[in-house]
Chains A and B, each alone.
Chain A
Amino acid sequence: MSGHIHNTDDRRELQMARSMCWHCQSEMAGEYFCDRCVKVQPVSKDLDYFTCFGLPRRLALDPQTLETKFYELSRAFHPDFYQNKSDAEQTISLGNSAMLNTAYRTLRDPIQRAEYLLDLEAGSVKDIRTTPPADLFEEILELQDTLDEFRASDRASESASTLRTKLHADRATLEQRQRDMEAQLQQLFGRWDALQNRGETTEQARAERGRILKDMRDILSNRTYVKNIVNDLVATIA
């Protein structure tokens, strides 16, 4: 049926330029509300989620700060408070709220936050096929075979029980691998934030940034790969 493309190349340059109020056409100085006519303004599609929350582009975020800001912006944008306003304002409130909710959901989760940051800095992770490291690839091929064998087996048989034991062991190994990857990611997040905080613009810093982003992208991609396999495995042996 439908030919749908995943939103590739949807990335736009961050645009900080202030525009005019849609209502009174005065120069916009306020953040989300016109200073002159106090009308709510549509949040620009080009505004990234970090900026929207007034946060620097860092991977370590204080969940309390994020929540407080989310509640504050929800009170500013939610359609409940625009019921008596014009249609134009209601439409803006709806759009802003939907955007705010997406932003909060993305930034609240450390993995989604990292994926989003990668998307901003280097293009979407999902669009780049990275090949998993050879040892992981081998391990998973073997696991796939065992899974197929188990699915085909008579569950009550002895061989099925042996396979089940093996699958349980494989699951433990993979879950350990997941934990290792989480730890590596945490470390990369820390390195990224530290580098950003230093704010160096040297060639060396640029290269370091590139390396960290590439490593993050690889681990995030492998993590998804392993996660899907683990889900499949858990569903099969449950």
Chain B
Amino acid sequence: MSRIVGIDLGTTNSLVAYMDHGTPRVISAHHERAMVPSVVALTDNGLIVGDSAKEHLTRNPERTVYSVKRFMGKSLADVQGELAYFPYTLTEKGGVIRIKLGEKSYSPPQISAMILKELKLRAEAFLGESIAKAVITVPAYFNDSQRQATKDAGMIAGLEVLRIINEPTAAALAYGLQERTQGTIAVYDLGGGTFDISILKLKNGIFEVLATNGDTHLGGDDFDQLIADLFLTEIRRQYGLDLSTHPDHMQAVRLEAERAKIRLSDELKTTASLDLPDGKGRFTRELTRDQLDALSIALVERTLGPCRLAVKDSGLAPGDIDEVVLVGGSTRMPLVRQRVQALFGKRPHCELNPDEVVALGAAVQADILSGGTTDMLLLDVTPLSLGIETMGGVMSSLIRRNTTIPASAKEMFTTYVDGQTGVDIHILQGERELAKDNRSLARFRLKVPPLPAGVPRIEVTFLIDANGILNVTAKDMRTGETQSIEIKPSYGLSDQEVERMIEDSFKFAADDVSARKLIEARLDAGALLTTTEKSLADGGHLIATGDVAAIRTALSALAAAKDGNDPRAIRARMADIEQAAKGLTVAMLDDSLKQGLQGKKVSDVTQS
């Protein structure tokens, strides 16, 4: 079975990991960090991803997308409150957000797919084989639409997503594998844009999630924004400058806020400094850890409510938790560690790199799925209750939150009117009483044969699979026939749209491949030109002048081809040179051998 990689598709950074003889390892490209910033920028040379794209945040803010994870599976109305913070333009089509980049608009899964593709390329270059399968992590508190959007992103990137797993659970797998822990653990995962808390029981290789909770809109980004807002207010007051009309400066403020926050995890005070527009000079400000704590305390407190709820839902008390594991870059903040320790009355573990542990866990899960590991098994739960709308707009729960997945529920439906041919079903997710207060997942119409009221009996099975994604099937109990159900997702791409995006991405991929081939051919040609010139200089005297002329002709032909756009022409001219220079190479080898043998005894030569 081909290799499956584990991918942490994060709000701010993404990573890919693989299993190396029983040990999960993250993959880093040549001399680069393993983390790929989850940033996509449209430049004059096309779309770029990662560190190079991150540089465009301040240079090219309107065409540089970051934190796209916040928009996965969302409608524009869902994110209305924070639109002002994003310099790029968001629109909506068919209940799905679209991000404008130059002439084209992209859905969040398409942008995420670009990040996934970058990770895929890295893994392929590192492992020297093509990668087509992956396990991708999502926040535990992601709803069905957000999970589906992540799966779509994988498909668009040309990856078969064998499993969507929850980030805190992935972290527990990596942690459990390393520490061989038994008992009850709490995983506190505060990432760039999301917060999760999961309570797990670890016993003889079984990782049973007891409860999970969280907030899919709370993370490091929000801390940065608070600091940035403070800077912006002060800049307005001191310099009379409103930076909100300068998207490039807004990004610079946000990035400086992030850097100051990171420094304050190790230091007690730091200095933030920013160039101002309109020749207003520099804004410089000292920020102390106490000041940061005062700014962030409300956000940190917001994570504690879900923690208490998760512990309660597990049927435990905070003191029953044996170990607390910290995951996500934001848990480096001393205030976070302090509050978590106070809540559980235990010093939290942070031995594993909080940035990498999720990707490592995804690699472990990938290994389980490929049959490499059989002693570990993850039993996860669904984070939100699933139900349907009933009379009076009330939600009737079918599968409660924190139910172990796979989970299924059956419901029988009938008609109220003679000859009625359809029953409309509205699927919801959430904990609120009224349908309208919960997340609408999908609507579908159940086909019913025209019969007297109450006679049809259609059994609908709602199944949440191991990915936490809903599948619906219906069966006519009278005829025993199953019926396929076309579900229209409330906030997601339709199957046809995903299909089209996959096709588009192949088209882009074809462009990418030929572009890559050209670049590589030019690089190789450049190297060959240099080495051949050097050989001519060093050994030209060893061969006939006619041969030297032939090599020179071939060299100028390659130089001309290198300026063209055809990689095959370049390769052909390179082959010509190798052919023409064969004599030169042989002559030089002979010469160097001769040189090397001079002054040596025969016995030395044979012995060495």
Which residues of A line the B interface, CB within 8 A? 1-7, 71, 74-75, 78-81, 83-84, 94-95, 97-99, 101-102, 104-105
Q: Could you list some 27 contacts between A and B, CB below 8 A? A: A1-B423, A1-B424, A1-B425, A1-B426, A2-B388, A2-B413, A2-B425, A3-B414, A3-B423, A4-B412, A6-B412, A71-B204, A75-B206, A78-B377, A78-B379, A80-B368, A80-B377, A81-B371, A83-B370, A84-B1, A94-B465, A94-B466, A97-B466, A98-B408, A98-B463, A101-B406, A105-B403
| B423 CB, nearest partner CB in chain A, Å | 5
In the docked arrangement, what's the CA distance between A74 and B379, Å?
Answer: 8
Q: Is the CB of B371 within 8 A of A2?
A: no
In the docked arrangement, what's the CA distance between A5 and B477, Å?
Answer: 13
B407 partner residues in chain A, CB cutoff 8 A? 98, 101-102
A5 partner residues in chain B, CB cutoff 8 A? 412-414
B-side interface residues, number (CB < 8 Å):
42
Q: With A79-B466, A102-B408 known to touch, is A2 a contact of B390 (CB < 8 Å)? A: yes
B465 partner residues in chain A, CB cutoff 8 A? 79, 94
Q: Is the CB of B390 within 8 A of A1?
A: yes
Which residue of A is nearest B365, CB measured? Answer: A80
A1 partner residues in chain B, CB cutoff 8 A? 389-391, 423-426
Q: Is the CB of B370 within 8 A of A97?
A: no
Please report whether the interface of chain B is mostly helix, strand, loop or mixed according to DSSP.
Answer: strand
Which residue of B is nearest A78, CB measured? Answer: B377
A94 partner residues in chain B, CB cutoff 8 A? 406, 463, 465-466
Pick the residue among A6, A74, A84 that contacts B371 (CB under 8 A): A84
In the docked arrangement, what's the CA distance between A132 and B370, Å?
Answer: 56
The 0/1 profile, CB within 8 Å of A marked 1, for residues 416-450 of chain B is 10000001111000000000000000000010000
Q: With A1-B391, A1-B424, A101-B405 known to touch, is A83 a contact of B369 (CB < 8 Å)? A: yes
Which residue of B is nearest A104, CB measured? Answer: B404
Q: B396 in the interface, Cβ–Cβ < 8 Å?
A: yes
Pick the residue among A74, A84, A99 that contacts B377 (CB under 8 A): A74
A104 partner residues in chain B, CB cutoff 8 A? 404
Please report whether the interface of chain A is mostly helix, strand, loop or mixed according to DSSP.
Answer: helix
In the docked arrangement, what's the CA distance between A217 and B371, Å?
Answer: 47
| A217 CB, nearest partner CB in chain B, Å | 23
In the docked arrangement, what's the CA distance between A105 and B142, Å?
Answer: 23
| A9 CB, nearest partner CB in chain B, Å | 10
In the docked arrangement, what's the CA distance between A204 and B405, Å?
Answer: 44
| B173 CB, nearest partner CB in chain A, Å | 11
Q: Is the CB of B203 within 8 A of A81?
A: no
B534 partner residues in chain A, CB cutoff 8 A? none
Q: Is the CB of B411 within 8 A of A81?
A: no
Which residues of B line the A interface, CB within 8 A? 1, 162-163, 203-204, 206, 208, 365, 368-371, 374, 377-379, 388-391, 396, 403-408, 410-416, 423-426, 446, 463, 465-466
| B559 CB, nearest partner CB in chain A, Å | 52
Pick the residue among A3, A78, A95 that contacts B415 (CB under 8 A): A3
| A101 CB, nearest partner CB in chain B, Å | 4
Which residue of B is nearest A97, CB measured? Answer: B406
In the docked arrangement, what's the CA distance between A101 and B410, Å?
Answer: 14
B413 partner residues in chain A, CB cutoff 8 A? 2-5
Q: Is the CB of B416 within 8 A of A3?
A: yes
| A151 CB, nearest partner CB in chain B, Å | 17
Q: Besides A80-B365, A102-B407, 4 other CB < 8 A contacts?
A: A2-B413, A78-B377, A81-B374, A83-B371
In the docked arrangement, what's the CA distance between A223 and B370, Å?
Answer: 48
In the docked arrangement, what's the CA distance between A99 and B408, Å?
Answer: 7
**Residue from the set A2, A7, A84, A99 with the largest chain B CB neighbour count within 10 Å:** A2
In the docked arrangement, what's the CA distance between A165 and B208, Å?
Answer: 43
Q: Is the CB of A4 within 8 A of B371?
A: no
B412 partner residues in chain A, CB cutoff 8 A? 4-7
B466 partner residues in chain A, CB cutoff 8 A? 78-80, 94, 97
| B308 CB, nearest partner CB in chain A, Å | 15
Q: With A83-B162, A104-B404 known to touch, is A2 a contact of B389 (CB < 8 Å)? A: yes
8 pairs of A and B residues whose beta carbons are closest in the complex: A98-B408, A98-B406, A101-B404, A83-B369, A97-B406, A79-B466, A5-B412, A3-B416
In the docked arrangement, what's the CA distance between A79 and B414, Å?
Answer: 33
In the docked arrangement, what's the CA distance between A5 and B414, Å?
Answer: 7
Q: Is the CB of B396 within 8 A of A4?
A: yes
In the docked arrangement, what's the CA distance between A102 and B400, Å?
Answer: 11
In the docked arrangement, what's the CA distance between A68 and B370, Å?
Answer: 25
In the docked arrangement, what's the CA distance between A2 and B206, Å?
Answer: 40
Which residue of B is nearest A5, CB measured? Answer: B412
A105 partner residues in chain B, CB cutoff 8 A? 403-404
B389 partner residues in chain A, CB cutoff 8 A? 1-2
| B483 CB, nearest partner CB in chain A, Å | 15
Which residue of A is nearest B162, CB measured? Answer: A83
A83 partner residues in chain B, CB cutoff 8 A? 162, 369-371
In the docked arrangement, what's the CA distance between A185 and B238, Å?
Answer: 72
Which residue of A is nearest B396, CB measured? Answer: A4
A97 partner residues in chain B, CB cutoff 8 A? 406, 466
Pick the residue among B406, B423, B463 that contacts A2 (CB under 8 A): B423
In the docked arrangement, what's the CA distance between A25 and B146, Å?
Answer: 42
B203 partner residues in chain A, CB cutoff 8 A? 71
In the docked arrangement, what's the CA distance between A172 and B403, Å?
Answer: 31
B410 partner residues in chain A, CB cutoff 8 A? 7
Q: Is the CB of A4 within 8 A of B370?
A: no
In the docked arrangement, what's the CA distance between A84 and B463, Å?
Answer: 21
B368 partner residues in chain A, CB cutoff 8 A? 80
| A78 CB, nearest partner CB in chain B, Å | 6
| B498 CB, nearest partner CB in chain A, Å | 21
B424 partner residues in chain A, CB cutoff 8 A? 1-2
**Residue from the set A4, A5, A6, A99 with the largest chain B CB neighbour count within 10 Å:** A4
Q: Is the CB of A4 within 8 A of B463?
A: no
| A53 CB, nearest partner CB in chain B, Å | 15
Which residue of B is nearest A80, CB measured? Answer: B368
In the docked arrangement, what's the CA distance between A79 and B164, Å?
Answer: 13
**Residue from the set B413, B416, B466 with the largest chain A CB neighbour count within 10 Å:** B466
Q: Is the CB of A4 within 8 A of B206?
A: no
| A71 CB, nearest partner CB in chain B, Å | 5
Q: Is the CB of A84 within 8 A of B370?
A: yes
B371 partner residues in chain A, CB cutoff 8 A? 81, 83-84
B378 partner residues in chain A, CB cutoff 8 A? 80
Q: With A1-B391, A84-B371, A97-B406 known to touch, is A75 a contact of B411 (CB < 8 Å)? A: no
